[in-house]
């Protein structure tokens, strides 16, 4: 069956100005026609869908989520509650988060580390692909590879020390079928006993992990706050620096030179600053060290031309509309245009995930994952937080008017 969408303003995710008067035809999930000839002139069997003059953007993509993390529904918002539970709770969180993500217009998500040893994301993705559940597309990193005593959450991490063990841990995750790897360059806000400005893995250990991933055409993200850890990671060939809060000028130069992405994750920083019930004082103390510097350094990175992709470091159970809010934070904190903000969560995210050939923009040959907005996001970026309809492969999967 062919569907033809009519009467909409298109922001296609390439950075081109919005277009009107187009017809977008979808067959077998893929955009087969995008142009100004009416479908009836071409093929009378096409089903027409009038989008009522609203704005269409590519489905949002989030490069840093933790799908297994979520509230235990009977507790408050403490950080412990977000990560507590057994393997079945974690699996349930993945399903709940996938369901919420579609309603928020997030059609592709990169998971930045499970908290469950059994990696339920990997199994549940299979069920989503088989059509048992509706869910966003997933790029999964599996268990976080970290050093003894390193940052990486209370559960689910894979501890490895030295080049040999790091090589083995990377191979283990790749053998389990992950799409990318996640490792750790510095201490973290959420891990007691680690400091944000102290570096963790040595450059050789990070290089061993990066080498294993690159051998099979996959990418590696590294959690990094402090300047030394960021530079270690970049020299080791890491593909994206997550958070990147305390980067120095040399680090920014390296980011530009290597073409690595940064994923700033303002959402989690702001969430900690709001100090929900149960946030330990140590987290607030560390957040205060990085908060203002992060904004200042992000602006410097943007101005230097560093590649930027959107990621929240949360999940929608405790961070509703995080991906859309993250875009607003990036715009606000750097002075980038609303269009550039949208690109961070569409084209750039697809490029970082490595799926730009099929996702991230709305063009002929791409998968028809898109969001229908009732307002113009170029005039008000918060419009992304109010999606009216969400389409996955040209099929309506969420309609706010009917929800």
- Binding residues for Zn ion (CB under 5 A): 112, 313
Closer residue to Zn ion in complex, CB, 242/369 = 242
H-run or E-run covering 311: none
Task: State whether the Cα torsion 223-116-398-177 is positive or negative.
Answer: positive
CA 49, 108, 120 angle in degrees (round to 5)?
125
Spatial separation of the C-alpha atoms in residues 12 and 205, rounded to whole Å: 40
Spatial separation of the C-alpha atoms in residues 228 and 187, rounded to whole Å: 11
Closer residue to Zn ion in complex, CB, 195/313 = 313
Q: What torsion do the CA atoms of 268, 274, 275, 277 make, to the nearest 10 degrees? A: -100
Spatial separation of the C-alpha atoms in residues 185 and 178, rounded to whole Å: 20
Minimum separation from the CB atom of position 199 to Zn ion (A): 18
Minimum separation from the CB atom of position 66 to Zn ion (A): 6
Spatial separation of the C-alpha atoms in residues 270 and 391, rounded to whole Å: 30
Minimum separation from the CB atom of position 271 to Zn ion (A): 12
Q: Are strands 23-27 and 30-35 parallel, antiparallel or unpaired?
A: antiparallel
Could you give the count of Cα atoms lying within 13 Å of 253 in the half-sphere of its Cβ? Answer: 3
Closer residue to Zn ion in complex, CB, 151/366 = 151
Closer residue to Zn ion in complex, CB, 71/112 = 112
Spatial separation of the C-alpha atoms in residues 5 and 285, rounded to whole Å: 51
Closer residue to Zn ion in complex, CB, 225/366 = 225
Minimum separation from the CB atom of position 167 to Zn ion (A): 23
Minimum separation from the CB atom of position 254 to Zn ion (A): 22
**Residue, CB closest to Zn ion:** 313
Minimum separation from the CB atom of position 242 to Zn ion (A): 6
Closer residue to Zn ion in complex, CB, 24/101 = 101
Spatial separation of the C-alpha atoms in residues 354 and 336, rounded to whole Å: 24
């Amino acid at each position: 069956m062919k569907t033809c969408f009519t009467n909409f303003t298109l922001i296609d995710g390439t950075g081109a100005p919005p277009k009107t008067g187009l017809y977008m035809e979808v067959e077998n999930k893929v955009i087969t026609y995008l142009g100004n000839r009416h479908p009836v002139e071409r093929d009378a069997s096409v089903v027409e869908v009038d989008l009522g003059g609203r704005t269409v953007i590519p489905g949002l993509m989030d490069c840093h989520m933790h799908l297994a993390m979520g509230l235990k529904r009977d507790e408050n918002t403490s950080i412990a509650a977000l990560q507590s539970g057994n393997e079945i709770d974690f699996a349930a969180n993945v399903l709940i988060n996938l369901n919420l993500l579609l309603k928020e217009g997030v059609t592709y998500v990169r998971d930045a580390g499970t908290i469950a040893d059994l990696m339920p994301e990997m199994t549940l993705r299979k069920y989503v692909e088989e059509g048992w559940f509706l869910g966003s597309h997933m790029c999964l990193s599996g268990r976080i590879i970290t050093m003894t005593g390193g940052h990486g959450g209370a559960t689910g991490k894979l501890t490895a020390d030295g080049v040999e063990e790091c090589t083995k841990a990377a191979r283990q995750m790749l053998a389990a079928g992950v799409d990318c790897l996640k490792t750790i360059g510095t201490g973290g806000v959420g891990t007691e006993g680690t400091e944000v400005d102290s570096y963790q893995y040595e450059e050789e250990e990070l290089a061993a992990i990066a080498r294993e991933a690159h051998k099979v055409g996959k990418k590696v993200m590294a959690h990094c706050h402090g300047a030394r850890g960021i530079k270690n990671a970049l020299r080791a060939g890491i593909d994206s620096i997550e958070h990147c809060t305390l980067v120095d000028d040399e680090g920014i130069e390296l980011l530009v030179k290597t073409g690595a992405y940064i994923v700033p994750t303002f959402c989690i920083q702001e969430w900690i600053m709001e100090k929900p019930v149960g946030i330990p004082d140590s987290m607030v103390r560390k957040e205060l060290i990085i908060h203002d510097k992060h904004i200042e350094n992000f602006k410097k990175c943007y101005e230097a031309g560093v590649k930027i992709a959107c990621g929240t470091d949360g999940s929608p159970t405790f961070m509703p509309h995080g991906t859309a809010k993250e875009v607003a934070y990036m715009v606000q904190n750097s002075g980038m245009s609303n269009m550039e903000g949208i690109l961070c969560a569409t084209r750039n995210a697809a490029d970082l995930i490595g799926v730009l050939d099929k996702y991230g923009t709305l063009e002929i040959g791409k998968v028809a994952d898109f969001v229908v907005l009732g307002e113009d996001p170029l005039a008000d970026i918060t419009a992304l937080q109010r999606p009216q309809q969400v389409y996955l492969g040209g099929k309506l999967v969420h309609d706010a008017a009917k929800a």
